[in-house]
């Protein structure tokens, strides 16, 4: 997995009833765009994340 600052990570729910979550990559700590990533959730919470196979990278697309 490779991501850049500004990309979104879509984390699919792993169990029935668990919703998908989207987080924003705010810092890439791994080599060549690899994990771990510092991410920010919609509520402003930040954490380190090493995404698993249930995660999809959505590249940053500037509006306009």
Q: Sketch the domain layout of the chain as residue ranges.
A: 8-58
Q: Output the average pLDDT for the chain.
A: 91
Q: Are 10 and 40 in contact (CB under 8 A)?
A: no
At residue 40, the pLDDT reads 97
Query: How much is the pLDDT for 14?
Result: 73
pLDDT at 64 over 90: no
Which tens digit of pLDDT belongs to each residue from 8-45?
999 887 777 778 889 999 999 999 999 999 999 999 99
Task: Say yes or no to pLDDT of 5 above 80.
Answer: yes
């Amino acid at each position: 997995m490779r991501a850049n600052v500004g990309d979104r990570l879509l984390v699919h729910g792993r169990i029935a009833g668990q919703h998908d979550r989207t987080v924003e990559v705010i810092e890439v700590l791994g080599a060549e765009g690899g994990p771990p990533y510092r991410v920010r959730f919609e509520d402003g919470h930040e954490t380190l994340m090493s995404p698993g196979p249930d995660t999809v990278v959505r590249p940053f697309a500037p509006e306009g």
